[in-house]
Every structure is written in C-alpha cells, then in structure tokens.
Structure 1
Amino acid sequence: MSELEEAVKFIKSIERKHSGKSTYEIANILRGYTRKAYTTRLWNTATGYDQEYISGEFEGKLNPNNLVVSGEVTDFGHFIAALSDQINQPGIKWSDLNGWTGDYSSWSGDIGSAIVVFRSQYENIRIQTLEEGLNRFARDSDYAADIAAYVVGSLINSRRIGSISQAIIQYDYIPYLNHVRTFIKKRFGTIIKGNSLQRPAILEAQISRSVANLIRFSNIPELWESVQDYLQSESELEFSSLVQPSRSDLLKGSLHFLTHIVNKGGLNSLRFKPYQIPAIPWLGTFNYQVSV
C-alpha cells in the first residue's frame, strides 16, 4: 500500500467515524492530525472551526511532507490544512471567512511568510536572501499542496463529489499539469491558448496584490506561529515592526510562484513588463521586462 493509499484509508476511517458531519467539519477534524502549527488560534479563526491538535496513537498521521499526489511531491499536511480553509461551511455557497483567507492559508501565505521572515531580520532565523526564504517557505511541494487544496476544495464545493477521500482519489487520477491549468483558470480567470498564458502581467499583479494584503497582517503574532513551528525554534517570534510590502519583494515572490506554474503546467516561457503598482494597473508598467 502506497503512502497516499494509507493516508486515504485513514481519512475514510475518520469519515466513517464522523458520518453525520459535513465535509467542512471533517476537513477541519483532519487538520488536527497534521501538525500543531495548523491548529493555532489563527487557523481556527480563518476556518471558522475550533480544532485542537490531536495527540496520541494517530498524532501527526496526516503530516507526511513528501507524499506523491497526482504524480507530484506534495506536503500532505499543508494540503489538508489548506483544504480546511477551502471547503464551504454548510449552507454557505462561498464562506465569508474562507472567501478571503483561502489564499492566505495557502500560496499567498507561503510567499508572504518568506518575505516577512526575511525582512524582519529575526536574529535566530538565518535567511540571507529573499530567494533563500522563498525556497524554504514556498517549496514546490508547498505549491503542489496549495493547488491540490484549491482543486479538491472546488470539487467538493461543486457537490460533484461527496467526500474528501473520494475527491483526493479523483484528483490523484489526473496529471498534475492539468490541475495547475485548472487552478490558474478558475482562481485567476487566466486564459490559456495552446501552451501560452495570456496577459501574464495581470496574473502577476493578482498574485502580488494578495501577498501584499497578507503581509499587511504580519503584525499579528499568531500569524507566525506556523513559521516558528516550521523552524523548530523554541524562541517566541517577535517582529519589532510591521513589514511593508515592497514592489521588488512582491515581484520576486510572484515570479517564484509563476515559475512553478509555468514549469509544472507545461506552459511556454513568459516575458512581460510588470505593473508598477499591482493594485493600480492604470498607472502603467515598468519599462523593463521580466522572464519566467
């Protein structure tokens, strides 16, 4: 039995145990089997569900960092946590909570974490460059988890599939390349002609805007409990001041994500002029081009 089959088998057992609960509730219960960082007050607030970390025999049962899903190495614990913020609450078509936190608890949060930790210059976190931070906090396996959470969440929210376990099984049958394309089409409204992304500057601006908004929340101490857990630091993270999102950092972060999208989505290379201010595109673009 593969690692994924074992994980799905465990998820099925939780679904049977909580057969009277909604997929939204079950997703959040599953979050309790990932890691402590995903059961903080911030995560409970974002998902709208108070879930404690579950210790004991099945502690960390859904926390393999490098599990292959849809042919792509995926941080499965990160996937489950992000999924819990993608599934709509019962009776709500698009949750008031996960409508705006879904990005922040996945790809936007990964990029934003790298920028905040790098710019905060916290003495116990040795990150010399933003690129190093991005490669540490926003790995391909993290982005794969984020995209999986979005696509699987969409399947469940559409009611085409009634359980998380079945949605994961279906997701695994389809090549990751297809999922990447589904993600950018549905989440950003991006048009793909052949293997070419259309109007990449707009897509980059959308990514940067989300990350910028996430960074503006970086003075919330609980936001970085997951960073502390990831670094296995016993010291409390204390950021002395709010990190302001610079256009240079946002561009590096969005291009890092776009590199994953282009490479894993089998898309043609990109070359475009980015907008000077992502939130105000009518101010125009820079006079230089960037490449992915």
Structure 2
Amino acid sequence: MAAVFRGIIPPVCTILDEDGNLDRKGMGQLIDFLIETGVNGLLFLGSSGEFSQMSVQERKEVAAFATDYVHQRVPVIIGTGSTNTREAIELSRHAEQVGADGILVVNPYYWPLSEKNLLQHYGDIVESVSIPVLLYNFPGLTGQDLTPDFVLQLVDRYPNIAGIKETTDEAGHIREMIIKVKGKFPNFSVFSGYDDHLLNTLFLGGDGSIASSVNFAPEISLGIYQAFQNGEMETALKLHQRLAYLPLLYKLDSPFVNVVKEAIALRGIDVSTYVLPPARPLDPLKKEELKKILQKAGVLSSS
C-alpha cells in the first residue's frame, strides 16, 4: 500500500490575475497562510482550483509552481483527472516529474463508462506513475458513482492507490467505503469532500477532509480534527456546529469558486478574486449573503 495521507488538506484555489494568468504572488500568499495554520497537506487543481476551466499547459504551470513553492513543507497532491485518458496520463506523469507527493484523479465526467472501461481508465493512469494515487468520487458532477465494491477492485489490483476523496452527501456511502475498503487495507485513506461530513467521517474511522472551506476557515476543520484526535468531543461538536453553516455558501452561485475566493479576501488575505469563465464575479448582493453566513459560522466578526 502506498504512503498514507490523513488530516485536513485544502483543495487550494488557484489565484489568477485579471487576465486569467497565474498570480504567483497571490498564490504564494495563500499557500503560506494555509501552511502556517497547520494543514496536513495541500491539493492543487481540484474543483476549487478551477482545473476544469484550464488548458493542459495552464494546469502544468500551476502544478509546477505550487510544488516548487511549497518546497516539501507539507505533502502536495495534484489533481490530474480528465475526460481523456491520455491527457490524464500526461498530467499525472508531469505531476510526478515536478515532485508532487501524490495525485488526485476524478473519473471522466461526460460519458458514463462501463465498469470494464472505468477500471481500464484508472489502471492506465495508475500504472503510468509510481507516486500514490487518490481517487476522487464526485457523482453529483461526474454522473457516475465510484462504489465501494468498484474501489475495492481497484485497490486489490493497484497497491499505489492510497485513498479516496468522497464528495458525496451520503454518510452511508462513506461508511461502506471505510468498512469495505479500509477494512481490508487499513492504510487506505478516506476523506470527506463535503465540509460538514468531517466529524462523522472521523467517527466512522475515516481520515479527515479535503473541503473548500479550509481555504478561508482552516481553524474550524483543523480544530475538529485535533479535538477528535485528543478525545475532546465537546470541542469537536461545538466546532462542527459552526462548520455546518459553511456549505450554505456553495448555494450562492455555480460554479462556487467565486464564492470561495471572495471568502478568502474577506478573511483579510489580499488576493485577486478573478475566476475563469464560465464562472463569473460574485454579485454584490450575494457578497452580502456570504458575509452573513461567515458571521454566523464565527469566521468573521459581526461588528
């Protein structure tokens, strides 16, 4: 089994200038902020990183810059998923070449594949690299669920599949993934993708979360994780109740990357909130709603 990932790993937003180019200074500011808060790793080019709006060259530029800038301070995972197997292999090999510690691979999100073809798709990618691979299950966007039985087949075949990000609102799905896959392979990491599933994932035996709110409110998820590890369940519960407000943010717009970037800026991190189309700037009225939600969660003061 490949190296173990665990804890709180934000899917880092890609900071861009007003022309849509990588803003290296702003990106560095966000990376430094997150590392200083004590996160357990950084994921680049996940959904919050706007990978789906980027060219292959743009994705490679972000991967190379981020890996170099982090400079082994924390583990780096690069999202390399694509609807195109050849492209996913190219991006995965590039991530390994620039020094990433692992890759995150979402399943193709146009064609619903037969099980045989989906197994082959993942097999081709996994066999193209030697670094650990995390699967990314987001059936709400891909249209195809990675079931625990399917994942178990993959992990049985490929020892460098190190875990999964479960972006599903079904606690039962996460539970079954932990029981069936982690039960057989204890080092297989199971992360919640939705913020408010962190605590129940930990209680079920999972390993942490890879959730967008960590970009702007890392202290909440990190606090839950640390409190759980220390057996301080009352503290974990209070933080969980604060965290429960944050998924309301994702209903403000779609794609919600603009919301996350505005929340980062509201936290006082002076970065550009530019997003790549088809995402657009957040409406001023929605910004006010965003502030109210952050205040309810205790991320911003109400003064």
Fold shared, TM-score > 0.5 on shorter chain: no
TM-score with structure 1 length normalisation?
A: 0.27
Larger strand proportion of the pair? 2
TM-score with structure 2 length normalisation?
A: 0.26
